Amino acid sequence: MNLAEGNQLIEQKLYRPLQVTIVDLDRPGREGPATRPDLPLQSVGEDRIAAYTAEIMDAIRKLQPQEEARSLFAQYTGALEKISKNLMSLRLTVEQVEGRLYGVIVCEARQPLSAKEIGLIQEYCDGQYGEARSAGYAYCSREAPNQGMYIHFWQKENDRLLDREELGAAIKAGRISNRPVVSEINKDTFWILIETAKHRWGQDLEHSAEWLEDQLLMLGPQQAQNFHDITCVYEHLANQYGLWDAANIINSFTRSDQGFHHFRAWLIAQGKDVYLDALWNPDSLAEVELYGDCSFEQLSYVGTNAFQRLTGQSAYTCANPAVYQKLNQELGAEITYRDDIWYPRPMRALPAAYPRLCAARGGRKRFDTDEIGWNTEHPKIRQLLDQGKRYDESKRRPRENRGEIR
């Protein structure tokens, strides 16, 4: 923020990362050339970022007179006054901050802008520039003769504008990524990304998923596919009846297949140690801080969302079964399961199996019921319930039968 010379107006800049839309003239779409979903500029290739930066800056400079005319027209029609009588002019430009291009709204006002005024400016500009491609914003060619990309300023609806100080703090805290944290995705770096997201975003699951997706977009399609595959395998390896019982103790909505799927994604998001401990003994979840309804649906789709934005295809359909099978063996080798995790249990048997978790989630009285909690019409479920009952009975045999007392 600074005073503009001559007219003593205060100039304030508000920042957002630039996005791009890839256009492929060789792939017709329904209403013209095919386009891919919007991407962060960082994801189009690190080796071309410098060239793109120069092209974009040049294109914006050429369009600057149009921007100034747009701002004057807004003043003339009273559009700015409707936002705030404090606001005198508004225009768009771009700046490079620590290696990443940002769209910048340059505001001139009589007094420093309030949070309410910034919110109104954001709403106004989203309406004015939301269809930046049709407004003729910067177009750059790509590697192929018939490929190009339109540069525009807006991305996710819940992204708010940041002033320069806030932007610097967000970059320093790692909440905005100008470069990827890891160089590739494997079984080790997967957990580095997961735990970094947890550290930086805490219990904010929505922004955690967005941050992870942004990381994958910068790493490219193969690493996005790797992340997707590893997520799917870890979810599969956690698909055990004992863990499902524990999830139901925590929150009864997880009784459905979908609810338990979202719970397993949430469990992965807690980090490797919590994940492995829960499979070694689901009762360990009594010591884990619970939040977000213990449901994290977005995490299951982070990899395929990034892959689709980069390639226009689904990571599910592009998955290699041989890679999936190999991952299943490699990741499964690191897991030690509790020896009765394969068995579902009726409600009344849960406190004996998971005493700490039941004590923390309502006590024995909550589970003193004839309700089974499982679909006993299914033959496999009936068989496993019976096996679990026999397992529990074997553990309750008098100790003298094992020679431990006289």
pLDDT of 336-355, one tens digit each? 999 999 999 999 999 999 99
Least confident of 55-59, 106-110, 134-138: 134-138
- Band of the pLDDT at 231, cuts 50, 70, 90? very high
pLDDT of 16 over the 60 cut: yes
Q: What is the mean pLDDT of residues 245-270?
A: 92
Q: What is the pTM of this model?
A: 0.77
Nearest-angstrom CA–CA distance, 354 and 321: 36
Q: 382 Cβ partners below 8 Å, 6+ apart? A: 376
Task: For residue 396, name the pLDDT band (cuts at 50, 70, 90).
Answer: confident
What does the alpha-carbon distance between residue 226 and residue 190 come to, in Å, rounded to a whole number?
Answer: 9
Is residue 71 over pLDDT 70?
no
pLDDT category at 392 given cuts 50, 70, 90 is very high
Between 322 and 142, the higher pLDDT residue: 322
Most confident region among 71-80, 183-192, 245-254 by mean pLDDT: 183-192
Residue 86 has pLDDT above 80, yes or no: yes
d(CA 385, CA 382): 5
Residue 20 has pLDDT above 80, yes or no: no
Give residue 134's pLDDT. Answer: 40
CB atoms within 10 A of CB 211: 21
Separation CA 157–CA 16 (nearest Å): 12
pLDDT tens readout for residues 243-252: 999 999 998 7
Which pLDDT score, from 0 to 100, does residue 260 have?
A: 96
pLDDT of residue 390: 95
Q: pLDDT band at residue 115, thresholds of 50, 70 and 90?
A: confident
Q: Which residue has the higher pLDDT, 65 or 186?
A: 186
Q: Looking at per-residue confidence, does 197 or 139 come out higher?
A: 197
SS3 annotation, the chain: CEECCCCCCEEEEEEEECEEEEEEEEEEECCEEEECCCEEHHHHCHHHHHHHHHHHHHHHHHHHHHHHHHHHHHHHHCHHHHHCCCEEEEEEEEEEECCEEEEEEEEEECCCCCHHHHHHHHHHHHHHHCCCCCCCCCEEECCCCCEEEEEECCCCCCCCCEEHHHHHHHHHCCCCCCCCCCCCCCHHHHHHHHHHHHHHHCCCHHHHHHHHHHHHHHHCHHHHHHHHHHHHHHHHHCCCHHHHHHHHHHCHHHHCHHHHHHHHHHHHHCCHHHHHHHHHCHHHHHHCCCCHHHCCHHHHHHHHHHHHHHHCCCHHHHCCHHHHHHHHHHHHCCCCCCCCCCCCCCHHHHHHHCHHHHHHCCHHHHHCCCCCCCCCCCHHHHHHHHHHHHHHHHHCCCHHHHCCCC
Rounded percentage of the chain residues whose pLDDT exceeds 90: 45
Q: Which amino acid is at 48?
A: R
Least confident of 61-65, 239-243, 383-387: 61-65
Mean pLDDT of the chain: 81
Tokens in use for 170? 């967000």
> pLDDT (tens digit, 9 = 90+) per residue, 201-228?
999 999 999 999 989 988 889 999 999 9
Residue 201 or residue 134, greater confidence: 201
Residue 28: the pLDDT is: 47
Helix axes 272-280, 257-269, angle to 10 degrees: 130
- How many percent of the chain have pLDDT more than 70? 72
Taking only Cα atoms into account, the Rg of the chain, rounded to an integer number of angstroms, comes to: 27
For residues 148-161, average pLDDT:
60
354-365: pLDDT as tens digits: 999 999 998 888
Check whether 10 has a pLDDT greater than 50.
yes
Please check the confidence at residue 124 and state whether its pLDDT lies above 70.
yes
Highest mean pLDDT (candidates 268-282, 300-314, 364-378): 268-282
Structure confidence at residue 91 (pLDDT): 78
